Amino acid sequence: RKLVHEGNPEAIIAFNGMAGTNFKCSAQCDYFGGHPIPRASKAFWDMANLPMIENAEEGPWLDGKGLPVDDPGWGALAHVFMGMQNRWNFGNLAFPPDQAIEWTSRIVSAG
């Protein structure tokens, strides 16, 4: 992270090798990938993914374990990337609309 920012202070770094709750990332990340529990295990809207929303509300800057930090330089910005259908790239809208609005509103309010 330090070397990349020395070369380009405006660079944004994210490595997403981990999905699901609670948030996880490496110390080199500026923001979390925000992927939910893999769809093969749980639907995107399953309550098992709710901790992603709750972690972001505690931050929005979190350490690699999803715990809030005060200084953005010591954490990554919480981010949620949630599918709206049964699969990432096809299917009808399946995420319950009221829940989608609620979770989205909570993430936006978190910062």
pLDDT band at 99 (very low <50, low <70, confident <90, very high): very high
pLDDT in tens, 30-54: 777 677 777 888 888 999 989 888 9
CB 36 within 8 A of CB 87: no
Torsion (CA) 43, 18, 62, 59 in degrees, nearest 10: -10
CB 53 within 8 A of CB 101: no
Tell how many helices (H) and how many strands (E) occur in the chain: 3, 2
- Mean pLDDT of all residues in 74-79: 82
Look at residue 22 in the predicted model and tell me its pLDDT: 52
Residue 23 reports pLDDT greater than 60 = no
The residue length of the chain stands at 111
Cα–Cα distance, 24 to 9 (Å, whole number): 24
Is residue 107 helix, strand or coil? helix
Q: For residues 35 and 70, which has the higher predicted lDDT (pLDDT)?
A: 70
Cα–Cα distance, 58 to 51 (Å, whole number): 10
